[in-house]
Structure 1
Amino acid sequence: MLVFGLEQISRFSKDTYARPVAEVIKHENYNPDTESNDIALIKVTDPIVFTDFVQPVCLQYQKLDIAELKPCVTAGWGMVEGKGRRADVLQEQEISIIPTAICNQGDWHNGSLSDQVLCAGFKWAGPDRCQTDSGGPLVCKVLGAGKFYQLGITNWGLGCGHKVHPGIYTSVRKYIEWIEWKTSKLGEMQLGAESSHKAPPPEKKNSAIRSQVSGFLTAIGLVSLFI
């Protein structure tokens, strides 16, 4: 079940509604050990109704200049300062995209970042995504256009807000063709053909995959709360 228009976990408002999940579409090459290709789509059984609190987000196209995007915001109900309970009310934080070349420096992430991810936060200690924020959005606004584009999906980090260790996000731009293929009629036909030849999945599921799968569509739903 996916929930839309949610701001406070403990109290659903009149603007909150849910949709049953029809299908989970995981990336074929997802690797839980390296967190590569950490992205998935969720198909719901009934159409999503757009309201003042639930709106679609634009996908980042290849030629969109990151330098033109301000502000950039991440959001979620994760832990505050890396300890204690999860936030009950949706939290948001304005952050900056940091070039991968900087984040791959020896005293930062030491060359471990590929072009499949984005580094975002602050060069020095500052507010950051935190534990249990995984799957949330990184969205940026195009100056003068009034539209938010989803650049990233919260992936992982070394602690929360630590010096020279900003958060790491799956780069949505790297998967635009994959998203468009999987959501096209041809992609749906391919998925149907694949599922008809596969045995039922085992009962035991990978929690890391579930976390990121549920997060992708949740990220889209969250954008409307701070546009």
Structure 2
Amino acid sequence: MTELDHPITHQSFAIIDRELGELPLNEKEFAIARRVIHATADFEFASLLHFSPGSIESAIAALQNSCPIVTDVNMVKHGIAGMVAKTFNNPLFAAIDFAAEPLPGKTRTETGLLRCWERYPQAVYAIGNAPTALLALCKCCATAPVPPALVVGAPVGFVSVIESKKALAQLPVAQIRVEGRKGGSPVAAAIVNALLVLAWNDLNPKL
């Protein structure tokens, strides 16, 4: 599989590569940044993405071994479902689907995230919308004997967004984080899709 299967995608990536120029990113980090920029047309993400040491390798190994993927909302889930189907068919869940009603004092995504954690603590978690879900996940990770395979921290907005990302930054877990207020479901989906492509190509190198 290649990210350049479609001519328009090939042309778009060529434009991105030309305008990005040299970046202090390794090859796999660059592939993720490029896909995020392709999804958003926002070159600032090249400097906002933070990769913890070993995070990409941890995610690739987990995805190749059919690790579940948990998203906060259905928009992220739908954004990666196609790539999941083309690659490893990982079990795929949206936390919000686990909470028809929120627990007292919590949001639906936060409630659903806590329920997903009970079932899939070692999953790949992709948060692209709800900072409350990321904060809940951070609290779970802080006391977990075994951390999740990866946390994608990319909620967007103004309320609790920066706080949730700072909480994630303080944890010794594999993480790909978008600094500041920017992020969103397309960003979280783009990160996971890029990881799926990297994981697939790692097992199926080009001849």
Q: Normalization by structure 1: what TM-score?
A: 0.26
Q: Quick check: which one's strand share is greater?
A: 1
Q: Quick check: which one's helix share is greater?
A: 2
Larger radius of gyration: 1
